């Protein structure tokens, strides 16, 4: 193996890569735009949509209610609530989003209360649909307030203190700093995006340096040069790795800048419940360190798979399943309750994704960091070895 020959191949491929528009877009433009769009753009749109849904008039259908004028009148007086007459297909209308909720008030509800019974009012809604949730929430708040007032009147009539029903208060208080709260809530996005961009940054150069060479008919010319196969594959591999790492560097830089600006502006949500996202230089350095072996693994794997293709289009077909194999474990950090442990620390991609979530929230498990880095290096070394072996097989290089 000659480092000089590998460097010559690297310079040659680098010169051609910077002339390729697809490579420049995937390695520069995409990582610089992804994090600002995900943080500021997505956060802004979410606040706008949620704010709009809160202020919109919610259509609520009242079922029954005969003999309960206080309930009916109270619901009609609610702000941003439009009361509709009852209909038998109320459930289908809620599912079709024609109405947001339906309130089923049993007949003789107020008379039953006067007798001391405990009747039940049902609120039908579309779980998971934000407008339906807001409509049901407003009605439920009114009914809760009505129940509290009724209880207080009964206690007052019996000359009893309202504190009998609520002898003590329970209050939750957050002790974690805002940066850790924001990191725990949204830190999973960091690992997912960094891993995905490492993959996409290496994908186009890998296809161009293998299947692209075959399609252009230049693979044979390169192989007849006095450069050995090992030097050739190392030169190509280093170019793909450079593209992947450059994409990772830009993505981490864009991530840090986006979080810093959001922290200066007060986070994603105004008020006491705001999410403040901040990432330190130490966190950026550790995230990049963990992305290094992942980039090596992706670069070698993409080169090996794309080498089997006869054309650029065929290489895209081969690499599509790999994208799904990477996305599935990478998205593990976004799952609620997913936590890093010794077993998951050995699972490729998933371990780095979970670790990045912990790092962004300000938690450093150095034993897991060392274990994940060593295991990722082993996986990366195995992938490089496979790539070198495949470049030495002419049945793969000249596959027809």
pLDDT digits (tens, 9 = 90+) for 356-400: 888 877 778 888 888 888 988 898 888 888 888 887 776 666 665
55-163 falls under which CATH superfamily? abc type-2 transporter like domain (3.40.1710.10)
Supply the pLDDT for residue 158. Answer: 84
Supply the pLDDT for residue 99. Answer: 93
Supply the pLDDT for residue 164. Answer: 79
Supply the pLDDT for residue 352. Answer: 86
Query: Could you read off the pLDDT of 179-226 as tens digits, one per residue?
Result: 676 666 666 777 777 888 888 888 888 888 887 777 777 766 776 777
| Burial group, residue 318, by CB count within 10 angstroms (0-12, 13-18, 19+) | middle
Q: Which of 248, 196, 250, 231 has its CA nearest to residue 388?
A: 231
Residue 272 has pLDDT above 60, yes or no: no
Which tops the pLDDT comparison, 186 or 243?
243
**pLDDT band for position 355 (cuts 50, 70, 90):** confident
**Average pLDDT, integer, range 1-14:** 72
**pLDDT band for position 270 (cuts 50, 70, 90):** very low
Mean pLDDT of the chain: 80
Least confident of 32-41, 55-64, 158-167: 32-41
Burial 32-52 (b: 16+ CB within 10 A, else e): eebbbebbeeebeeeeeeeee
Supply the pLDDT for residue 317. Answer: 85
Name residue 123's beta-bridge partners. Answer: 103
Residue 76 has pLDDT above 80, yes or no: yes
Residue 18 has pLDDT above 60, yes or no: yes
Supply the pLDDT for residue 271. Answer: 43
Residue 1 has pLDDT above 70, yes or no: no
Residue 268 has pLDDT above 60, yes or no: no
Most confident stretch, 128-132, 191-195, 283-287: 128-132
Supply the pLDDT for residue 208. Answer: 82
pTM comes to 0.64
Residue 273 contacts by C-beta under 8 Å, 6 or more apart in sequence?
none
Supply the pLDDT for residue 182. Answer: 65
Supply the pLDDT for residue 210. Answer: 82
Supply the pLDDT for residue 41. Answer: 67
Least confident of 138-142, 345-349, 387-391: 387-391
Residues 356 and 329: beta-carbon distance below 8 Å: no
C-alpha span between 117 and 62 (Å, rounded): 22
**pLDDT band for position 35 (cuts 50, 70, 90):** low
Q: Report residue 361 as tokens.
A: 């929230």
- Written in H, E and C, the secondary structure of the chain is CCHHHHHHHHHHHHHHHCCCHHHHHHHHHHHHHHHHHHHHHHHHHHHHHHHHHHHCCEEEEEEECCCCHHHHHHHHCCCCEEEECCCCCHHHHHHCCCCCEEEEECCCHHHHHHHCCCCCCEEEECCCCHHHHHHHHHHHHHHHHHHHHHHHHHHHHCCCCHHHCCCCCCCCCCCCCHHHHHHHHHCHHHHHHHHHHHHHHHHHHHHHHCHHHHHHCCHHHHHCCCCCHHHHHHHHHHHHHHHHHHHHHHHHHHHHHHHHHHHHCCCCCCCCCCCCCCCCHHHHHHHHHHHHHHHHHHHHHHHHHHCCCCCHHHHHHHHHHHHHHHHHHHHHHHCCCCCCCCCHHHCCCHHHHHHHHHHHCCCCCHHHHHHHHHHHHHHHHHHHHHHHHHHCCHHHHCCC
Domain with CATH 3.40.1710.10 in the chain: 55-163
Supply the pLDDT for residue 278. Answer: 59
Query: Could you read off the pLDDT of 288-336 as tens digits, one per residue?
Result: 888 888 888 888 888 888 888 777 788 888 888 888 888 888 887 777 7
């Amino acid at each position: 193996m000659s480092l000089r020959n590998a460097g010559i191949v690297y310079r040659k491929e680098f010169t051609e890569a910077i002339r390729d528009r697809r490579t420049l877009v995937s390695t520069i433009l995409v990582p610089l735009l992804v994090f600002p769009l995900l943080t500021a753009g997505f956060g802004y749109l979410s606040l706008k949509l949620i704010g709009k849904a809160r202020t919109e008039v919610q259509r609520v259908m009242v079922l029954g209610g005969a003999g309960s004028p206080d309930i009916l009148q109270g619901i009609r007086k609610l702000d941003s609530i439009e009361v509709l007459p009852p209909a038998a297909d109320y459930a289908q209308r809620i599912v079709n989003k024609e109405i947001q909720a339906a309130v089923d008030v049993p007949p003789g509800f107020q008379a039953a209360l006067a007798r001391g019974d405990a009747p039940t009012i049902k609120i039908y809604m579309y779980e998971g649909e934000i407008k339906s949730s807001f409509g049901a929430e407003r009605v439920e708040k009114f009914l809760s307030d009505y129940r509290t007032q009724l209880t207080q009147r009964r206690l007052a009539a019996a000359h009893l203190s309202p504190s009998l029903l609520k002898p003590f208060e329970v209050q939750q208080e957050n002790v974690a700093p805002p940066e850790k709260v924001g990191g725990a809530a949204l830190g999973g996005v960091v690992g997912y995006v960094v891993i995905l961009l490492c993959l996409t940054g290496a994908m186009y150069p890998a296809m161009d340096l293998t299947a692209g060479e075959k399609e252009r008919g230049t693979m044979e010319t390169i192989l007849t040069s006095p450069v050995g196969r090992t030097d050739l594959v190392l030169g190509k591999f280093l170019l793909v790795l450079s593209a992947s790492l450059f994409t990772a560097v830009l993505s981490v830089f864009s991530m840090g800048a986006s979080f810093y600006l959001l922290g200066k502006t007060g986070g994603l949500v105004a008020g006491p419940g705001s999410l403040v996202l901040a990432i330190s230089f130490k966190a950026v350095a550790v995230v990049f360190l963990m992305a290094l072996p992942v980039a090596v693994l992706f670069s070698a794997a993409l080169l090996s798979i794309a080498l089997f293709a006869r054309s650029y289009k065929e290489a895209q077909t081969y690499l599509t399943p790999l994208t799904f194999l990477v996305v599935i474990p990478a998205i593990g950090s976004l799952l609620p309750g997913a936590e890093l442990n010794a077993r998951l620390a050995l699972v490729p991609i998933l371990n780095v994704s979970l670790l990045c979530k912990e790092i962004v929230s300000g938690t450093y498990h150095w034993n897991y960091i060392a274990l994940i880095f060593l295991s990722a290096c082993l996986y990366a070394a195995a992938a490089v070895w496979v790539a070198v072996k495949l470049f030495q097989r002419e049945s793969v290089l000249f596959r027809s």
